[in-house]
Structure 1
């Protein structure tokens, strides 16, 4: 059974999410501040973390930074901060998804489900052999979740890995935001959700200083990777 950590200083939010997650069959742990969240995460039995940004003791961004030193479990940030810079900080530190408060608890459960599904597949729960995809000077190790540009290693989140997998396995093909979102997040695209644009921007910055060096914007259509 997957165990979900809800780290949020608002007891009402923790209780609401716990109710919906337990109804879906998940085990749930709660933390009311960042210090308690890190203590629970140190136990090593958490499968996914729903992480608030504004928490006492240690804020969510610092919690994420610390946990990424030892853990690659999915992290979904839940925050009242809805600006792109805040999302970029979260994604840069290793978050897999970002939800804005207030949110629908059913959407939260759906995001938990899709992130866990992707995480278990990437862990190799299906005992698949290591796979590599090469394009231009890039090599994607799908098993280790690492991208190489020449000899340089680029760490990817699970979402970024899925996006690069889609682009590199289909060079020259244009993908809409909807297709990218459905493939990388494993969920139905929500028009008002700009996570995809923030994620593409962050991925580009990891690949090269030139944002259009690898992933091209096709105006009015979507994105593609050059052959």
Structure 2
């Protein structure tokens, strides 16, 4: 049974989510503040964390930073604030996805399952025949899921890695945002470009010399993105 740690201080929301996800076959553990969430996380293993942004004692962003120093467990941020700044902040700190209140339980469940699928894909190494790929100053080790720039390791989130993997293993192909979403998130695309934009910006900040003038992943305006040529 897949385990979910839900950290939400609104008891009515927690009970609603707990009841629905339990019926869907998940085991849900509840925490009502950030400090309790940290304690529960350190006591057991979880397949995904649902994390509210506004929490007592330790807020969601601080919780996220602490967990990302220890684990790559999928984390879905939950917030009543649906602005681009809030999304960028949550995703920029290493969250895997974002869902705004009020949300449908069907959408929440779909995102949880997609996050678990993505994490499961990275628990198994890629076939060895996909070896080491070099793109200018980047060395991308597909088998060991790692990337270096000029010999220095880069710390990518699982989502950033899969985006980079998509481009370096398909160097001639142009990808639309819908194709990127379906490949990386392994889910249906509902037109939420912001999630792709935020992850692309964070990836470029790590791999590009000048993220405002990207060379590794080029933007083809009105079409999509493709790997740059050197």
Q: Under a length normalisation based on structure 1, what TM-score does the superposition of the two structures give? A: 0.92
1:216 maps to: 218
Structure 1 range deviating more: 161-170 or 145-154: 145-154
3-state DSSP of counterpart to 2:115: helix
3-state DSSP of counterpart to 1:123: coil
1:183 maps to: 183
- Describe the shift of the 1:82–1:132 C-alpha distance in structure 2 as closer, same or farther (beyond 3 A): farther
Structure 1 range deviating more: 145-154 or 95-104: 145-154
CA distance in structure 2 between the partners assigned to 1:20 and 1:146 by the alignment: 37
- Describe the shift of the 1:132–1:116 C-alpha distance in structure 2 as closer, same or farther (beyond 3 A): farther
1:225 maps to: 227
Q: Under a length normalisation based on structure 2, what TM-score does the superposition of the two structures give? A: 0.91
RMSD: 1.9
- Describe the shift of the 1:25–1:68 C-alpha distance in structure 2 as closer, same or farther (beyond 3 A): same
8 Å contact kept, 1:4–1:48: yes
Q: Deviations over 1:14-46 (max 9, x none)?
A: 122212221221111011110110011101311
8 Å contact kept, 2:34–2:57: yes
- Describe the shift of the 1:192–1:93 C-alpha distance in structure 2 as closer, same or farther (beyond 3 A): closer
- Describe the shift of the 1:133–1:103 C-alpha distance in structure 2 as closer, same or farther (beyond 3 A): farther
In structure 2, list runs of 5 or more residues that go unmatched.
none
- Describe the shift of the 1:222–1:110 C-alpha distance in structure 2 as closer, same or farther (beyond 3 A): same
CA distance in structure 2 between the partners assigned to 1:85 and 1:50 by the alignment: 20
